[in-house]
Structure 1
Amino acid sequence: MEPPTLEGDWYDGTTSRPRRAMVSREAGDRLRIASADEAREVALRDVRLSARLGATPRVLSLPDGSRVECHDSPLLDRWFPRPDSRIDAWADWLERRRLAIAVAALVTTGTVVAFFQFGVPRAAAYIAGQLPRGVEVAASHQAMQVLGRLGLRETTLPAARREALEARFLAMVDGEPRHSQMQLAFADAPRFGPNAFALPDGRLFATDQLVELAGDDDEILAVLAHEAGHHVHRHGMRQAIESSSVVVVVGLIMGDATGSSVVAALPAVLLSSGYSRGHEREADAYALDLLERRGLDPQAFGRIMQRLGEAHGAGDSEVAGWLSTHPPTPERIRAAMRHRGAGPERDLPQDAR
Structure 2
Amino acid sequence: MSDAPQLRGLRGHAYAARSSYRQPARLLTREGGEDLWVDIQNDERAVLGSAYLSELQIDPPLGTAPRKVTFPDGAVFETSDHDAIEALTGKTRGSMLHHYEGFNARLIGVVAICLAAAWVLWRYGLDIMASVAIAFTPPAVIEQIDVGSMQTIDFTMAEPSKLSDEQKADVEKIYHRLVQSLPQDVQERHSFDLLFRDVPGMGPNAFALPGGTMVMTDAFVNEFPEPDVMAGVLGHEIGHVVEEHGLRRLYRSLSTYILIAFLAGDVGPILEDVVLEGNVLLSLSFSRRQETSADEFGLTLSDEAGFDPAGLKVFFEKLSEKYADQEPAQWTSTHPSSQERVKAIDAFIDGL
Q: CA RMSD in A?
A: 3.9
Confirm or deny: 8 A CA contact 1:140 1:199 kept in the other structure: yes
Distance (whole Å) between structure 1 residues aligned to residue 335 and residue 248 of structure 2: 18
Alignment equivalent of 2:176, drawn from 147, 163, 167: 167
Aligned-residue identity in percent? 17
Q: Secondary structure at the match of 2:204?
A: coil
Q: Kindly tell me: are residues 120 and 31 of structure 1, through their superposed partners in 2, closer, same or farther at Cα, counting changes over 3 Å?
A: farther
Partner in structure 1 of residue 148 of structure 2: 142
Distance (whole Å) between structure 2 residues aligned to residue 25 and residue 134 of structure 1: 71
Distance (whole Å) between structure 1 residues aligned to residue 310 and residue 51 of structure 2: 85
Partner in structure 2 of residue 59 of structure 1: 67
Q: How many residues align?
A: 307
Q: Secondary structure at the match of 2:90?
A: coil
Partner in structure 1 of residue 24 of structure 2: 20
Matched, 1:301 2:312: yes
Displacement of 1:246 in angstroms is: 7.0
Alignment equivalent of 1:235, drawn from 245, 266, 284: 245
Matched, 1:71 2:78: no
Q: Kindly tell me: are residues 14 and 208 of structure 1, through their superposed partners in 2, closer, same or farther at Cα, counting changes over 3 Å?
A: farther
Confirm or deny: 8 A CA contact 1:292 1:298 kept in the other structure: yes
Structure with the larger RCO, 1 or 2 (CA within 8 Å, 6+ apart): 2
Structure 2: segments with no counterpart, 5+ residues: 1-5, 260-268, 271-281
Distance (whole Å) between structure 2 residues aligned to residue 130 and residue 331 of structure 1: 38
Confirm or deny: 8 A CA contact 1:6 1:70 kept in the other structure: no
Partner in structure 1 of residue 99 of structure 2: 92
User: CA offsets, 1:288-320, max 9 Å, x none?
Assistant: 1452365366553343234445459346xxxxx
Structure 1: segments with no counterpart, 5+ residues: 250-257, 260-271, 316-323, 345-353
Partner in structure 1 of residue 218 of structure 2: 208
User: CA offsets, 1:138-160, max 9 Å, x none?
Assistant: 22212221122222414514154
Q: Secondary structure at the match of 1:194?
A: coil
Counterparts of 1:36-51 in structure 2, within 5 Å, are 36=43, 39-45=48-54, 46-51=56-61
User: CA offsets, 1:126-183, max 9 Å, x none?
Assistant: 2122111111122221222112222241451415413431233223434573565242
Partner in structure 1 of residue 10 of structure 2: 6
Counterpart AA for 2:133: I
Matched, 1:102 2:70: no
Partner in structure 2 of residue 188 of structure 1: 197
What is the TM-score of this pair, normalised by structure 2? 0.70
Partner in structure 1 of residue 36 of structure 2: 29
Displacement of 1:96 in angstroms is: 5.1
Distance (whole Å) between structure 2 residues aligned to residue 162 and residue 31 of structure 1: 91
Larger Cα-atom Rg: 2
Matched, 1:115 2:121: yes
Distance (whole Å) between structure 2 residues aligned to residue 106 and residue 331 of structure 1: 41
Displacement of 1:71 in angstroms is: 1.8
Matched, 1:339 2:347: yes
Distance (whole Å) between structure 1 residues aligned to residue 245 and residue 297 of structure 2: 18
Q: Kindly tell me: are residues 198 and 283 of structure 1, through their superposed partners in 2, closer, same or farther at Cα, counting changes over 3 Å?
A: same
Distance (whole Å) between structure 1 residues aligned to residue 134 and residue 347 of structure 2: 30
Per mean C-alpha deviation after superposition, the further-off stretch among 232-241 and 140-149 is 232-241
Q: Kindly tell me: are residues 292 and 162 of structure 1, through their superposed partners in 2, closer, same or farther at Cα, counting changes over 3 Å?
A: closer
Displacement of 1:77 in angstroms is: 3.4
Q: Secondary structure at the match of 1:177?
A: helix
Displacement of 1:187 in angstroms is: 0.9
Confirm or deny: 8 A CA contact 2:25 2:40 kept in the other structure: yes
Distance (whole Å) between structure 2 residues aligned to residue 113 and residue 67 of structure 1: 47
Displacement of 1:59 in angstroms is: 0.8
